[in-house]
């Protein structure tokens, strides 16, 4: 009803007013603010202008002129608006059906509960003042329209009521409110402002100026439906105010505007619900729709349902534009007792948004989780730390926060040891929730202090989910425990987290403090008069800046007499550091009793916190800003991590290349040694001389004669033959072994040259020498090769039939001669070659034929190389294994990470 | 302790320090390439610093007030000196340059120059003016800039002076006494410097007495955990002056003893030695022998002999001689008979190869490079177990120092003793003549017998000589001819045996000669460089032990 009413009101206003003002405002707003506020402002300012000076229509009929002009045509006529709506169905249907369908879906779950509130609220609201009457006209007014807007009427009212109740909840929040205190503060908040509406001319300028910076942000925030309403309500209030100021029109209109706004929001939200995610990013989009609908309602007039309320509204608004403000003001008070019943509002994001974002974050988490950064490439420490941080932050903060963006804000108090963090928390909580003392570091277990109503939420929440909740720090409380303490004095919706220090000798404290900060919605950094120039403090501030976290700085323990100097100096340092805009609080050094400071010392800070608590919009902004900051920081942190992964992968490839190069060198060396005859020295030479010189070689050949066993003569000197064969094998083996050893040394040397990185790997035992099995493997390899050569000779020997007829030969012996020839007899210093070739060559050519010999030669050489390659591959495996054990991400890891980053950006 | 006694003690510790520093210098000299360069650099910097400091005034003790920003170093400095010399303030950081105050200026100038304290920041206290402060005569008090503010990130003044001051007074305060900036970077690093470190818990006036006591206990525990065995903690208050006199007396003790500089250097030396020892665990390393023992040398020689193929050369020589001797000393008839057999080479039209095969034996002995390398490698591997990696590589490299030309050297040297296999001894020739003589004799006898048969028996004609026709001589002649054959056969067999015997003896001689030569080469080319490296190794560890004391 209210929404209908307000919608109608707006419609009416638009319709009823020649509100060129609106357009004018729109323009002016549009320049400095993003589209979203612009539109809203336009809508809302319409109301005041309408109410205040209906005559000032001529002022600025610039761009939106058509609409306003049309509006202007039908001032205050419900029916005309309706007709318009009907008339302009061309555009109407687009928006209207969406709304009608969407609204029930999205809001119905909540509305029942809220509706109750609303029910409670309304009567109460009616009681305190005649203003309720102003509120009620809404519904009443709606009823006339209800004939037309049958479908919407039942749904809308509860909702708007909720909105209303929420809005009021945001108002004077404290259970024990001190009107005096609240008064001034109230000036800061939208609803309050609205409450102050009647006195508008006086109050309006202030709030307006206070809110000015915010006008830019408001609807960019993603918000759950309810909050959206709240926020927008407040926002709009703000906008309104400003608009009003700008126009110097009546503030009495503020309330209706606020309501209007809510309506708009409702619509918007509904639309968005179906529209899916991107509500925030498309801040432009939703106000646009909202606006569209508003415009439709007012000017073109959407379909009947829409237009109905549109008509209904004017009644209410028309009746009590100004009283409405009071009505709301009174509503706050009325609602206040209701609020604790629902201390924490966990309203998930519209499902698709949440789902997409959650999916993106989960994907991100997966791609970060499994990473192993095993190589000590420069920067690996940072990368490992970044990985742990990102994971912890995702778990502790981002994922829970995306799920429940309206959850109570977590204010993390961080700072140096002895800065008085615990004392501050105690003072704010007005109870000794955290131990204080002269021992440094004092706090070892983080303490979370919150309002009793929020306690349950924090007890089971996913925020800092990995930490064990305890009621009080026990002797066994480690750094993974979180002490939960509740205090009535703390404003609801905010929790203070007292962290361990960031700079004491206990390094685990730093880690836990950073983990807490990663989960924070708001950072309160505490430093002292003696510490404000400490390097760790500034490192933390830099981190906050990088993360884009919402930050407040408390300069604590400031001696009264030097306060001015220190404050100024600190302010200047902050300025130089680009943190001049950050909110600062100064706490004097004073006597600490019972772990607490005198209350007046922290009054300013308490007030600030309370404001945050009261003002859902600001809090949500703060939360959102920090969340955005964190998500933004992923934009650079994840690619940085991915780059490091790439570096690791690239480095692994380089290390692998080193090994391969070393062993390639060894292969080349073996090739050389097996072709230049250097093997044919020492024992091999002696055995060759023995074999050849003693006539055995000649005896391997014999003429075939019938009746004589061919193999008989071959066995005449098996001992010498065997010895020669063994010598040849030993020679080859030693060449392979020495090359393998050289290669191992070379590989390790190459690794060591890789600036410090390979060192750790190269230190793996045994890498600097060839493996234990190499000699055995080499022996097997060479023996196998020899067998292979014999087989080749045997099969190749068949080729030359003409010889085979006359001469028989011992393949084994001939194979040895062949090997001698192959291993570079011609190049060795023992060769006495005549023009036609070396001795083995000529002999073999004679026996086997030139072609066959060539083929066998090629095959034997290739086979030897292949066998040695296999052998060295096995050697290489040891290095690969070391590399694998070091744990290096695969090539796809960085791509996955980039993809995850991209997905996250897309889903935001 | 009297001053003179203290001085005598100081001389003792001084000379002791000198000995240790000399040993360290030796370590630094021998270390490069074997020890982490950073460590060597640190050690040589310590040597430089020690040299400088010991040259400069030993009558002065440099005491530095160090600490975080805002702990009250300057205030304490002013309190101790009794003058407002160093500006104090509430802005952080306050002090940017080091201030010095000297009690007893004589001879302090060079020291202050060395400390690089600017002239305008030097102040002198004429101790004569201060009654009761004569004890502080010789004190140079430094007020350092802080080490933990954002300014200190780029300015290492404090670090520099903390490294070279004789005594460090850590000025802590109840707020900052547990800062990682102080403890992790300095105090824990300087563990073992108890004698030259004092902790002043400043701003004690900010705490209630019981709080102060708790604070001191906590600080003391913290320091003990960090390895400071007996921390000297003096609670002070620069504001009220409380505890300043206690601090002064603690300082006075160091000043009067005149030992702080030496103590400081000793502590630094201990620290460097601790790090060195960690990298080079000495006791285990000392078990490495100084020289290459005989068994290993034998092993190396054996391996090198194998690389040359000494046994094979011997065998080949024996076999080849045996085979070749047949051509010289063998019974010609047997040879001729063998020649009648068909030759496969000829049937392959490869008759020319026969000479080449003979030529094969002409080649001299040589060493196989890969086997030589493996032999040397085995020696190095056998020597190095238990050695630190760097030294292991050192020994290996030393063993390989001559590897490139080792095979060549061995081949040439051994080649001198190894006889060419195609050598023909003189007695072979003589025997050959004898064999042919016998053949001639046989032929002559045969001819004679034929003549007798022809002339004497058959009476074909008139015999040219009586002898040719004397039939009665025929049996004798037959007997003689047969015995000539027998003698030839016997001499062939006998000389063959002689050849084998001679070859056997030759082989033994050859092997002995070759082995002796190879052993000599191994000693000169491999063992000596290795022993040199081993000596360096032992010397290094001896110096290390000496420096460690």
Mean pLDDT of A596-622: 83
Whole-number Cα distances in Å, A730 to A394, A775, B296, B421, B491: 63, 10, 22, 23, 41
Task: Note whether B319 contacts A438, CB cutoff 8 Å.
Answer: no
| CA–centroid distance for B185 within its chain | 34
**What's the CA gap between B264 and B261, in Å, rounded?**
5
Let me know if domain B59-257 sits in CATH 3.40.640.10: no
Interhelix angle A111-126/A152-170, rounded to 10 degrees, is 70
The residue among B215, B235, B144 whose CA lies nearest residue B175 is: B215
**Local confidence band at A359 (pLDDT 50, 70, 90 cut-offs):** confident
Picking from A377-381, A557-561, B106-110, B284-288, which range would have the lowest pLDDT averaged per residue? B284-288
What pLDDT, on the 0 to 100 scale, is given for residue A125? 37
User: Smallest Cβ distance to B374: which of A439, A538, A738?
Assistant: A738
Residue B373 Cα, gap to closest chain A Cα (Å): 7
The tokens describing A483, both together, are 């002490």
Tokens of A569: 């100096």
The pLDDT of residue B336 is 83
DSSP sequence for A413-438: EEE-TTS-HHHHHHHHHTS--S---S
Confidence of residue A866 (pLDDT cuts 50, 70, 90): very high
User: Which chain B residue has the Cα nearest residue A847?
Assistant: B348
Q: Kindly list the distances between the CA atom of residue B41 and the CA atoms of A423, A426, B36, B156, B543, in Å, as whole numbers in the listed order.
A: 48, 52, 9, 19, 17
Q: CB under 8 Å to A105, separation ≥6 — which residues?
A: A270, A273, A274
Residue B363 DSSP symbol: P
CB atoms within 10 A of CB B481: 19
The confidence score (pLDDT) of residue B241 equals 86
Per-residue pLDDT of chain B (549 residues; tens, 9 = 90+): 344 444 555 556 778 888 899 999 998 998 888 888 888 999 999 999 999 998 888 888 999 999 888 888 889 998 888 888 888 888 888 888 889 998 888 888 888 999 898 888 888 876 545 555 677 888 899 999 988 888 877 788 888 999 899 999 999 988 888 888 888 888 888 778 888 899 999 988 888 888 899 999 999 998 888 888 888 999 999 888 888 889 988 888 888 888 888 889 988 998 888 888 887 776 555 666 777 888 888 999 998 888 888 888 888 888 877 777 877 777 788 778 877 776 666 666 666 667 777 767 666 778 888 888 889 888 888 888 777 778 888 888 888 888 888 888 888 888 887 777 677 778 888 888 888 888 888 888 888 888 888 887 777 777 777 777 777 778 888 888 888 888 888 888 888 888 888 888 888 888 888 889 989 998 888 899 999 888 888 888 888 888 876
Q: What is the pLDDT of residue A233?
A: 39
Q: Is the alpha carbon torsion for A15, A21, A25, A26 positive or negative?
A: positive
Say how far apart CA B491 and CA B514 lie, in whole Å. 33
> Measured between CA atoms, how close is B91 to chain A, in angstroms?
6
Q: What is the mean pLDDT of residues A676-682?
A: 81
Q: Would the pLDDT of A232 be above 60?
A: no
Query: By the 8 A CB rule, do A33 and A73 touch?
Result: no
Place of tokens 């020994």: B395
Contacts of A807 in chain B (CB under 8 A): 344, 347-348
Range picked from A505-514, A865-874, B12-21, B426-435 for highest mean pLDDT: A865-874
Interatomic CA distance for residues A830 and A815, integer angstroms:
19
Q: Which two tokens stand for residue A795?
A: 């099969």
With beta carbons less than 8 A apart as the criterion, state whether A73 and A32 touch.
no
Q: Under an 8 A CB cutoff, do B177 and A698 touch?
A: no
A346 pLDDT above the threshold of 60: no
- B93 closest CB neighbour out of A533, A693, A739: A533
In this prediction, residue A93 carries a pLDDT of 38
Helix (H/G/I), strand (E/B), else coil: B83: coil
Using an 8 Å CB-CB cutoff, list chain A residues near B389: 763, 768
pTM: 0.66
Find chain A residues with C-beta within 8 A of B369's C-beta: 673, 678, 681
As a whole number, mean pLDDT of residues A102-112 equals 38
> For an interface test with B, which of A418, A511, A533, A680 has the most B Cβ atoms less than 10 Å from its Cβ?
A533
Residue in B36, B72, B149, B179 to test binding to A, most A beta-carbons within 10 Å: B179
Confidence of residue A309 (pLDDT cuts 50, 70, 90): very low
Name the DSSP letter for residue A351. H
**Would you state the structure tokens that stand for residue A649, as one six-digit string?**
């992968």
In chain B, what's the furthest Cα-to-Cα distance?
A: 161
| Residue in A closest to B212 by C-alpha | A438
**Chain A residue at shortest CA distance from B72:** A530
Nearest to A686 among B151, B178, B309 (CB): B309
CB-based contact A675:A827 (threshold 8 Å)? yes
Within 8 A of A826 by CB-CB distance, chain B residues are none
Residues of chain B with C-beta less than 8 angstroms from the C-beta of A769: 381
Tokens of A698: 């000649």
Question: In chain B, where are the structural domains located?
Answer: 59-257, 294-548
CA B224 to chain centroid, in Å, comes to 39
Per-residue tokens: A691:
């074999």
What is the β-pairing status of strands A807-809 and A701-703? antiparallel
Residue A752's closest CA among A737, A740, A767? A767
Compute the mean pLDDT over every residue in chain A, rounded to the nearest whole number: 65
- Substitution target in B220, B302, B309 with the highest count of A β-carbons within 10 Å is B309
Strand, coil or helix: A469: strand
Q: What is the pLDDT of residue A118?
A: 37
Identify the closest residue of chain B to A690 by CA–CA distance: B316
pLDDT in tens, A838-855: 777 777 777 777 788 888
**Mean pLDDT throughout A21-41?**
39
ipTM of the complex: 0.80
Contact A832 B359 (CB under 8 A): yes
Q: Report the gap between the CA of B324 and the closest CA in chain A (Å).
A: 8
**pLDDT of amino acid A803:** 64
Lowest mean pLDDT among A147-161, A753-767, A864-878, B21-35: A147-161
- pLDDT tens-digit profile of A727-786? 889 989 999 999 998 899 888 888 888 766 666 677 777 777 788 888 899 999 999 999
Helix, strand, coil content of chain B in percent (nearest 5):
65, 5, 30
């Amino acid at each position: 009803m209210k929404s209908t009413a307000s919608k109608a009101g707006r419609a009416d206003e638009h319709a009823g007013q020649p509100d060129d003002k609106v357009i004018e405002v729109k323009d002016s707003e549009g320049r400095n603010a993003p589209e979203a506020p612009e539109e809203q402002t336009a809508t809302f300012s319409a109301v005041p202008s309408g109410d205040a000076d209906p005559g000032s229509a001529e002022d600025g009929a610039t761009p939106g002129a058509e609409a306003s002009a049309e509006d202007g045509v039908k001032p205050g006529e419900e029916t005309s608006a309706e007709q318009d709506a009907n008339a302009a169905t061309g555009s109407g249907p687009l928006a209207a059906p969406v709304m009608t369908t969407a609204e029930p879906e999205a809001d119905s779950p909540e509305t029942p509960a809220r509706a109750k509130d609303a029910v409670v609220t309304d009567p109460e609201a009616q009681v305190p003042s005649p203003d309720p009457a102003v509120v009620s006209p809404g519904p009443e007014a709606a009823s006339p329209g209800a004939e037309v807007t049958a479908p919407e009427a039942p749904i809308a009212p509860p909702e708007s009521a909720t909105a209303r109740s929420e809005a009021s909840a945001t108002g004077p929040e404290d259970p024990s409110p001190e009107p005096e205190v609240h008064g001034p503060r109230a000036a800061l908040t939208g609803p309050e402002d609205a409450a102050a509406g009647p006195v508008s001319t006086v109050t309006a300028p202030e709030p307006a100026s206070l809110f000015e910076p915010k006008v830019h942000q408001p609807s960019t925030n993603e918000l759950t439906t309810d909050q959206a309403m709240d926020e927008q309500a407040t926002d709009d209030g703000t906008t309104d105010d400003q608009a009003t100021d700008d126009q110097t029109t009546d503030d009495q209109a503020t309330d209706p505007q606020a309501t209007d706004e809510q309506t708009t929001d409702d619509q918007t939200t509904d639309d968005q619900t179906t529209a899916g995610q991107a509500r925030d990013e498309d801040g432009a989009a939703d106000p646009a729709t909202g606006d569209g609908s508003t415009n439709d309602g007012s000017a073109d007039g959407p379909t009947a349902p829409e237009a109905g309320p549109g008509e209904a509204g004017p009644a209410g608004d028309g009746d009590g534009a100004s009283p409405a403000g009071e009505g709301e003001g009174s509503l706050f008070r009325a609602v206040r007792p209701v609020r604790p019943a629902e201390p924490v509002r966990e309203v998930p994001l519209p499902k698709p948004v949440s789902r997409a974002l959650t999916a993106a974050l989960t994907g991100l988490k997966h791609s970060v989780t499994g990473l192993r950064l095993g190589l000590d490439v420069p920067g690996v420490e940072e990368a490992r730390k970044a990985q742990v941080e990102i994971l912890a932050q995702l778990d502790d903060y981002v994922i829970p926060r995306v799920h429940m963006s309206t959850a109570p804000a977590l204010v993390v108090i961080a700072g140096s040891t002895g800065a008085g963090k615990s004392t501050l928390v105690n003072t704010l909580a007005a109870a000794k929730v955290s131990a204080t003392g002269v021992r440094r570091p004092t706090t070892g277990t983080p303490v979370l202090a919150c309002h009793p109503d929020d306690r349950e939420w924090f007890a089971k929440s996913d925020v800092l989910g990995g930490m064990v909740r305890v009621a009080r720090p026990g002797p066994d409380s480690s750094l993974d425990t979180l002490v939960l303490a509740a205090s009535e004095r703390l404003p609801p919706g905010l929790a203070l987290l007292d962290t361990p220090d960031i700079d004491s000798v206990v390094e685990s404290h730093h880690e836990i403090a950073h983990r807490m900060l990663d989960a924070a919605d708001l950072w309160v950094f505490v430093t002292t008069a003696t510490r404000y120039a400490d390097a760790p403090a500034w490192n933390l501030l830099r981190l906050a800046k990088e993360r884009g976290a919402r930050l407040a700085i408390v300069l604590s323990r400031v001696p009264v007499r030097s306060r001015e100097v220190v404050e100024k100096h600190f302010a200047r340092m902050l300025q130089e550091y680009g943190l001049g805009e950050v909110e600062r609080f100064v706490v004097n050094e004073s006597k600490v009793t019972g772990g607490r400071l005198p209350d007046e010392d922290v009054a300013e800070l308490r007030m600030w916190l309370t404001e945050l608590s009261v003002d859902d919009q600001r809090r949500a902004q703060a939360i959102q800003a920090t969340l955005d900051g964190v998500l933004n920081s992923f934009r650079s942190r994840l690619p940085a991590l991915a780059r490091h992964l790439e570096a690791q992968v690239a480095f692994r490839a380089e290390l692998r290349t080193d090994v391969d190069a070393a062993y390639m060198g060894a292969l080349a060396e073996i090739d050389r040694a097996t072709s230049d005859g250097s093997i044919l020295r020492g024992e091999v030479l002696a055995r060759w001389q023995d074999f050849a010189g003693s006539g055995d070689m000649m005896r391997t050949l014999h003429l075939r004669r019938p009746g004589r066993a061919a193999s008989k003569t071959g066995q005449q000197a098996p001992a010498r033959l065997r010895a020669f064969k063994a010598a040849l094998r030993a020679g080859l083996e030693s060449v392979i072994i020495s090359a393998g050893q050289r290669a191992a040394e070379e590989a390790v040397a190459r690794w060591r040259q890789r600036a410090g990185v390979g060192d750790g790997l190269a230190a793996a035992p045994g890498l600097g020498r060839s493996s234990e099995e190499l000699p055995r493997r080499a022996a097997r390899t060479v023996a196998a090769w020899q067998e292979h050569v014999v087989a080749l000779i045997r099969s190749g020997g068949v080729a030359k039939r003409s010889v085979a007829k006359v001469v028989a030969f011992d393949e084994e012996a001939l194979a040895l001669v062949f090997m001698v020839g192959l291993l570079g007899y011609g190049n060795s210093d023992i060769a006495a070659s005549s023009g036609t070739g070396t001795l083995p060559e000529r002999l073999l050519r004679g026996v086997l034929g030139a072609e066959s010999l060539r083929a066998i030669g090629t095959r034997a050489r290739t086979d030897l190389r292949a066998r040695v390659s296999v052998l060295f591959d096995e050697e290489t495996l040891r290095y690969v294994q070391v590399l694998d054990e070091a744990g290096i991400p695969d090539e796809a890891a960085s791509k996955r990470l980039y993809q995850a980053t991209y997905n996250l950006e897309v889903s935001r | 302790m009297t001053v003179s006694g203290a001085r005598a003690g100081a001389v003792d510790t001084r000379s002791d320090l000198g000995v240790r520093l000399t040993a360290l210098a030796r370590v630094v000299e021998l270390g490069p390439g074997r020890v982490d360069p950073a460590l060597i650099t640190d050690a040589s910097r310590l040597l430089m610093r020690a040299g400088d400091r010991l040259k400069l005034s030993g009558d002065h003790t440099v005491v530095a007030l160090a600490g975080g920003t805002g702990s009250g170093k300057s205030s304490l400095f002013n309190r101790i000196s009794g003058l407002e010399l160093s500006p104090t303030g509430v802005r952080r950081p306050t002090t940017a340059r080091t201030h010095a105050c000297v009690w007893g200026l004589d001879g302090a100038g060079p020291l202050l120059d060395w400390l690089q304290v600017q002239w305008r920041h030097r102040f002198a206290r004429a101790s004569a003016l201060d009654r009761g402060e004569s004890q502080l005569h010789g004190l140079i008090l430094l007020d350092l800039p802080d080490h933990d503010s954002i300014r200190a990130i780029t300015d290492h003044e404090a670090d520099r002076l903390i490294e070279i001051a004789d005594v460090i007074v850590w000025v802590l305060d109840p707020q900052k006494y547990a800062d990682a900036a102080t403890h992790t970077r300095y105090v824990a690093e300087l563990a073992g410097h108890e004698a030259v470190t004092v902790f002043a818990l400043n701003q004690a006036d900010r705490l209630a007495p019981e709080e102060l006591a708790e604070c001191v206990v906590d600080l003391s525990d913290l320091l003990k955990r960090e390895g400071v065995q007996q921390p000297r903690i003096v609670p002070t208050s620069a504001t009220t002056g409380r505890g300043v006199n206690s601090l002064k007396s603690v300082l006075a003790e160091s000043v009067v003893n005149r030992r702080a500089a030496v103590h400081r250097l000793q502590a630094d030396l201990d620290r460097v030695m601790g790090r060195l020892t960690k990298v080079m665990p000495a006791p285990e390393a000392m078990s490495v022998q100084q020289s290459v023992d005989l068994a290993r040398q034998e092993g190396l020689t054996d391996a090198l002999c194998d690389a040359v193929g000494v046994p094979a050369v011997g065998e080949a020589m024996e076999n080849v001689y045996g085979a070749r001797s047949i051509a010289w000393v063998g019974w010609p008839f047997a040879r001729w008979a063998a020649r009648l057999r068909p030759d496969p080479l000829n049937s392959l039209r490869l008759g020319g190869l026969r000479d080449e095969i003979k030529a094969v034996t002409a080649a001299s002995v040589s060493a196989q490079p890969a086997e030589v390398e493996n032999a040397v490698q085995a020696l190095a591997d056998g020597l190095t177990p238990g050695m630190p990696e760097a030294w292991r590589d050192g020994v290996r490299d030393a063993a390989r120092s001559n590897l490139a030309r080792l095979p060549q050297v061995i081949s040439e040297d051994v080649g001198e003793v190894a006889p060419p296999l195609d050598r023909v001894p003189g007695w072979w020739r003589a025997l050959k003549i004898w064999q042919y003589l016998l053949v001639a004799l046989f032929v002559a006898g045969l001819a004679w017998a034929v003549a007798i048969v022809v002339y004497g028996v058959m009476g074909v004609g008139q015999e040219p000589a009586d002898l040719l026709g004397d039939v009665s001589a025929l049996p004798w002649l037959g007997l003689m001819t047969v015995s000539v054959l027998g003698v030839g056969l016997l001499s062939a067999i006998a000389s063959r045996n002689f050849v084998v015997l001679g070859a056997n003896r030759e082989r033994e001689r050859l092997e002995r000669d070759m082995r002796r030569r190879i052993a000599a080469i191994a000693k000169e080319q491999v063992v000596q460089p290795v022993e040199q490296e081993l000596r360096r190794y032992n010397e290094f560890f001896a110096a290390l032990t000496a420096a460690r004391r």
